[in-house]
Structure 1
Amino acid sequence: MSDSSAHPPYAATAVQKGALIVGIVFLVVGIAGFIPGITTGSLSGAGSGSMAMLLGLFQVSVLHNIVHLAFGVVGVIAARGAGASRGYLIIGGIVYAVLWIYGLFTANHTSGANFVPLNTADNWLHLVLAVGMILLGFVLPRSRSRRDDRIRTVG
């Protein structure tokens, strides 16, 4: 007989569920960036030359969409463990904070420095993502509650 506590279930803790949800949202956004109608305009590989707009608001490119997909995959994988989930949320939040700062100088510019590409709406979203992910990483508990364990043993 195996000990089920040695291998807790996937996304068993609150922080794991948080990482999973954030990861799924990034996957959905990354996929949506390639769907005509949801994304309008000319989608280019990278750079400020991409005139594609996700939901008519966020400037995207193939590179931008791939980054969203990669962040999503990492989140789904990180949800396997509480420590990895916490790291994903906090480090991912820091990455988005850096991207927000970068966007303060490059958003809406047509220079080569705006290679992601970014506009003002992207920049505000990156700030919200940075704050939200970091908060989730610090606030969500890394262990299951005793109530969860009692429910699991009864059910």
Structure 2
Amino acid sequence: MRTSTFSDSAIRYSALSLGLLFLILGLAGFVPAFVTPSEHFTSEPGFGYIFGVFPTNYFHNAIGILVGVWGIAAFTSLSGAIVFNRIFAILYAAGAILGLLPFSNTLFGLTPLFGNNIWLNAITAAIAFYYGFVKSAEIATTSSSSAQPSV
């Protein structure tokens, strides 16, 4: 049986940190005191800017809460944290790339993908990529090199 190492803990805590960040952002989006209304009229329900910085709407907030709860739940096991970080990295990198394209400032008209959401998605995707793919590969090579050779 393998004991927990610093790399294991770092992977798990990255899932917890990302989960807490997105849970807080998702919950803050439903609190009117934290959301600045848009300068331009929009018929989209709940559209505004969290802390005056990140464009959001009700659907985007709900996704943030779901991702946050998933990250917190993934913290309970190493394999769950690795899977969370990998899927998170792929999805949020795709969101950042779509946000860079001028014709796709929303995700099929559901959530905003423009402004400061682009760099938030890119930075969190990079963090998740590092812990989901790079650090987990280091653990796999370390554990396989310490295995007993078969005769």
TM-score normalized with structure 1 length: 0.71
CA apart distance, 1:15: 1.4
Structure 2 spans left out of the alignment, 5+ residues? 141-151
Instruction: Select 2:82's aligned residue among 68, 72, 86.
Output: 86
SS at match of 2:96: helix
Identity %: 27
2:111 and 2:17 mapped to 1: Cα distance? Answer: 24
Shift of 1:32: 0.7
Output one character per residue of 1:68-118: Cα deviation in whole Å (capped at 9) or x when no partner: 0000111111111101101111210110011112222222x7xx8442122
Which position in structure 2 is the counterpart of 1:31?
Answer: 27
- 1:19 maps to a residue whose letter is A
Query: 1:127 maps to which residue?
Result: 122
Question: Please, which runs of 5 or more residues in structure 1 have no aligned partner?
Answer: 144-155
Task: Note closer, same or farther for the CA distance 1:122–1:28 as it changes in structure 2 (3 Å cut).
Answer: same
Separation of aligned partners in 2, 1:120 and 1:77: 30
Report what 2:67 is aligned to.
71
SS state at 2:49 partner: strand
Alpha-carbon RMSD: 2.7
Q: Given the alignment, which residue of 49, 55, 61 partners 1:59?
A: 55
- Cα distance in 2 between the residues matched to 1:57 and 1:18: 24
The reply to whether residue 19 of structure 1 matches residue 15 of structure 2 is yes
